[in-house]
Structure 1
């Protein structure tokens, strides 16, 4: 790791993932957002300025918050973590809440662009599913409160592939010319690393090299790299199997075509999540905490699914979700068993150069 119609959240944001991490890592490690001087201990007012992924905070959530609190919300949207981080780093932004993805939380902490959360002012963290409490990218949820989530796995058409549970399906020569991989460096390396016995979070040069070799060999049998219409190719039978992101585009195909199945590979796959953080210098921190608490309420969190088409991180929200079919669709809500071994994709830091060099070799092979 979604869609920005909701499909655009899947294709656009994930295709920029590698560039986003590389670009963000290169930014200066100093600076702060906004022009205010508020801190976690104060900041009143009846205004709240939010900067979030397009389509991920439904209008119904904003409307209900405004009606209940009398706080006026201004919601600006972005289409990549790089765009959001660059704006914060410039010092020209004046936001009270932002919605970074998990690896970007790590980067924003390092650049001192977000502030630690005051947990004494937050109610409802215990509503989060266990997977999103104390996550590897933000221990103790010190800097962020997860809002929505999704997965990276693969999908197959059972008219071609009878059954599949492993990344090995995407490396099987008998499906030559009928396999697609996401056109995204780090997404491809999730499969490359895990199929060779490593974790998706590996930064070991030797393990990355082994994954590169596997991806180079795999390229010989691929139909291509595709981050846009692969769900439709699977549905039509033009593709037997494809690496895939969960989200509305894939979920619609799974729901409409009983021959298409989305799975989290037994090797683990990966999880992404987007959550709420308070930038350094936020002026309206009282309003920010009220909004965080509002979204932690199960009946509000349920709107992320019913009106936003995304999986909520809030376990108790399931009882309030009206779209029960979404709860049963693995391309929206993967089961707890399926994601038990899934990795949160983290910021690779200095190891990014190994991925970039390897990806250049793969694409040139």
Structure 2
């Protein structure tokens, strides 16, 4: 996985800090989970960690890091965290480097609640973790500058009327996400991305910036510095709940991507049994409903979302899953570096 130097340094700092966390909880089994910081980490503590500890007696630490996958990569098989939250393609990429524990259905009996199309498996069919929830990839826009009907199709982003008004994701996500989606729309798939290259080039020519973080593009959209971009449903849901109603999200007629997240056990991690128990517990319906209130939609089918959550999302979880494509993330991860380089070249040429 290609990471900016700043992310690598931050991951190393987080890794150095992690042993003190583990030593502080020296008695019995424990869970130390690497997660992105901020609101997401708070949600994991409240919705997943605290109820798990109360029921099991196993202490849970949610360790906030800039990028969990980068921290596990930096550990090189000597992890201080025994659970990791990651985008599915990131977990698959780490597994290809031998850095993720390979599990079975016997290890994860609650996996039966998750449709197999969302399981992340290696070529031997071994399971790489518990698919936990998803957000979907649609088009975010500032409603003072555009309206939902301006984006009936993903093709709308190639219209030259948006020249200098769009923002692009960083290449590390632009390659796995945007390029894969555009390939699908143009007759390719996750294994054949060539058909998507001209469309990504056309969208990139309309972009004014490559956003370095989710926070930065949220500011760009809310301030009207950019009109639109391909972006994550859950992030827009949280912005609107916080009162920033000038930002909206639309799902084009072709649908978008199911961007699934997975919790995995790093290879050689301590307290493997406690970690696997935590993975199985994570698809508990009450915990999933709590996550959905922050924009994270359940992948498991044993969850009934309350009506107010369905209204916030704009459709039921079943409708969202049906309207969005879930590619084979293991296939995408097999060429993660190549796709990232290609996306970087496309973005650079468009400047």
TM bracket, shorter-chain basis: 0.7 to 0.9
CA change 1:352–1:294 in 2 (3 A) is closer
Equivalent pair of 1:157/1:260 in contact (CA under 8 Å)? yes
> Residue 102 of structure 2: SS of its match in structure 1?
coil
Once the 2 structures are TM-superposed, how far is the Cα of residue 129 of structure 1 from its aligned partner? 4.8
CA change 1:255–1:281 in 2 (3 A) is closer
Alpha carbon RMSD of aligned pairs, Å?
3.9
Are 2:190 and 1:201 equivalent residues in the alignment? yes
- Alignment counterpart, residue 49 of structure 1, candidates 24, 28, 32: 32
Once the 2 structures are TM-superposed, how far is the Cα of residue 330 of structure 1 from its aligned partner? 6.3
Once the 2 structures are TM-superposed, how far is the Cα of residue 172 of structure 1 from its aligned partner? 0.7
> Residue 34 of structure 2: SS of its match in structure 1?
strand
Once the 2 structures are TM-superposed, how far is the Cα of residue 169 of structure 1 from its aligned partner? 1.0
> Residue 76 of structure 1: SS of its match in structure 2?
strand
Are 2:115 and 1:115 equivalent residues in the alignment? no
Cα distance in 2 for residues equivalent to 1:141 and 1:265: 34
Cα distance in 1 for residues equivalent to 2:61 and 2:242: 35
Gapped runs of 5+ residues in structure 1? 1-16, 25-33, 36-43
Cα distance in 2 for residues equivalent to 1:300 and 1:52: 17
Equivalent pair of 1:78/1:84 in contact (CA under 8 Å)? yes
- Deviation per residue, 1:159-209 (Å, 9 max, x gap): 6346123111111123333x31323125445445644615462455x446x
Cα distance in 1 for residues equivalent to 2:267 and 2:343: 36
Once the 2 structures are TM-superposed, how far is the Cα of residue 296 of structure 1 from its aligned partner? 2.2
Q: What does residue 4 of structure 1 align with? A: none
Q: What does residue 312 of structure 1 align with? A: 298
Are 2:89 and 1:103 equivalent residues in the alignment? yes
Q: What does residue 183 of structure 1 align with? A: 169
CA change 1:109–1:90 in 2 (3 A) is closer
CA change 1:352–1:331 in 2 (3 A) is farther
Equivalent pair of 1:18/1:185 in contact (CA under 8 Å)? no
- Alignment counterpart, residue 279 of structure 1, candidates 234, 243, 266: 266
Cα distance in 2 for residues equivalent to 1:336 and 1:255: 25
Once the 2 structures are TM-superposed, how far is the Cα of residue 75 of structure 1 from its aligned partner? 2.9
Equivalent pair of 1:52/1:76 in contact (CA under 8 Å)? yes
Q: What does residue 83 of structure 1 align with? A: 70
Q: How does 1:1-365 map to 2 (within 5 A)?
A: 19=3, 45-54=28-37, 55-56=40-41, 57-89=44-76, 91=78, 93-129=79-115, 131-132=117-118, 134-135=119-120, 142-156=127-141, 160-161=146-147, 163=149, 164-177=151-164, 179-189=165-175, 190-192=177-179, 194-195=181-182, 197-199=186-188, 201-202=190-191, 206-207=194-195, 211=197, 213-226=198-211, 227-231=214-218, 233-234=220-221, 239-253=226-240, 261-306=248-293, 308-319=294-305, 324-325=309-310, 328-329=313-314, 335-339=320-324, 341-343=325-327, 345=329, 347-350=332-335, 352-353=337-338, 355-357=340-342, 359-365=344-350
TM-score (norm: length of structure 2): 0.72
Cα distance in 2 for residues equivalent to 1:301 and 1:257: 25
Cα distance in 2 for residues equivalent to 1:277 and 1:230: 28
> Residue 119 of structure 1: SS of its match in structure 2?
coil
Cα distance in 2 for residues equivalent to 1:348 and 1:207: 19
Once the 2 structures are TM-superposed, how far is the Cα of residue 318 of structure 1 from its aligned partner? 2.9
> Residue 247 of structure 1: SS of its match in structure 2?
helix
Equivalent pair of 1:234/1:241 in contact (CA under 8 Å)? yes
Cα distance in 2 for residues equivalent to 1:86 and 1:272: 21
Equivalent pair of 2:130/2:280 in contact (CA under 8 Å)? no
Cα distance in 1 for residues equivalent to 2:104 and 2:201: 47
TM-score (norm: length of structure 1): 0.70
Aligned residues: 320
Cα distance in 2 for residues equivalent to 1:158 and 1:200: 32
Equivalent pair of 2:310/2:317 in contact (CA under 8 Å)? no
Equivalent pair of 1:153/1:244 in contact (CA under 8 Å)? yes
